[in-house]
Amino acid sequence: MYGTEKYGTTGYSQEQQISDEEIKSYKPDLLYRLPPHLKEIPEFKSWGDVSSYELGLSAWQEEDILNQCFIDTATWGLVFWESIFSIPTDLNKSYEDRRAVIKAKLRGSGTTTRQMIKNTAEAFSGGECDVIMHPEDYSFTVQFIGIKGIPKNLEDFKQMLEDIKPAHLGYYLKYTYTVWNFLKDKNLTWNQAKPKTWNDLKVYDG
């Protein structure tokens, strides 16, 4: 039976690139219980090395497959999560960004509420958010509180909002920046500030 996934999207063939260092902690010591004089026999040592590696590889693969069952640890298995939620797979994006989209989609399932929008925003930004409703002009504001500056993956977040919000509602995005008084309280000197860009100072935490 043929699969339905586009060739090359799962990346499972990357198992050939597993390094010996990655397998090391999974390899059992098959010669541990042998008498010392047998451990030195080349045939035993060769058998032990090969078998130990294969058993270690098998244990690593078992854990790797289990990791794909959870969004936070999935890598090549993210394509299956994306398929479940009808999210286009973009292998140019980082695992972190792809996981954020999946989590937001998961939190955004069901009837759209203020709490759902809040959960979706927090899944994308990784920090606390607030949602202020403006019923008088049929809109709402998403305020990013827990992080400073413009969140990563913002375009995906906007697309997710368009997918989950009622069509008649508009929205505004409000970001948090560092104010000058905060920098003064932190006793930031000119020499400390000089190497930083304006964007660095806008999100400076001290």
How confident is the model over 96-132, as pLDDT tens digits? 889 988 887 777 666 678 888 888 888 887 788 899 9
Give residue 167's pLDDT. 82
The helix or strand, by DSSP H or E, that contains position 174, with its residue range, turns out to be strand 170-174
Q: What is the pLDDT of residue 108?
A: 65
Are 120 and 161 within 8 A, CB to CB? yes
Structural domains in the chain? 34-106 (no CATH), 112-200 (3.30.300)
Give the span between the Cα atoms of 76 and 142, in whole angstroms: 32
Using DSSP, state whether 139 is helix, strand or coil: strand
- The two structure tokens encoding residue 133: 């409703």
Written as six digits, the tokens of 1 are 């039976």
Q: What is the pLDDT of residue 202?
A: 42
- Provide the edge-to-edge strand list for the sheet that holds 170-174: 129-134, 139-144, 170-174
User: Which pLDDT score, from 0 to 100, does residue 110 have?
Assistant: 64
Percent of the chain topping pLDDT 90:
19
Q: What is the dihedral of CA 164, 75, 150, 168, to 10 degrees?
A: -10
Residue 159: closest CA among 94, 110, 86, 79: 86
State pLDDT tens for residues 152-178. Answer: 778 888 888 888 888 888 999 988 764
pLDDT at 70: 93
Q: How confident is the model at residue 67 (pLDDT cuts 50, 70, 90)?
A: very high
The β-bridge relationship of strands 139-144 and 170-174 is parallel
Per-residue buried b or exposed e for 3-19, using 16+ beta carbons within 10 Å of the residue's own CB: eeeeeebbeeeeeeeee
110: left (phi over 0), alpha (psi -120 to 50) or beta: left
Q: Which pLDDT score is estimated for 168? A: 84
Most confident of 81-95, 111-125, 141-155, 187-201: 81-95
Q: What is the mean pLDDT of residues 20-47?
A: 77
Which of 84-93, 99-108, 133-142 shows the lowest mean pLDDT across its residues? 99-108
Q: In the numeric block, which tokens belong to residue 48?
A: 């032990």
Q: What is the pLDDT of residue 4?
A: 45
Nearest to 148 by CA among 176, 127, 125: 176
Poorest-pLDDT segment among 2-16, 47-61, 146-160: 2-16
pTM: 0.50
The pLDDT value given to residue 109: 64
Q: In whole angstroms, what is the distance from residue 149 CA to residue 143 CA?
A: 11
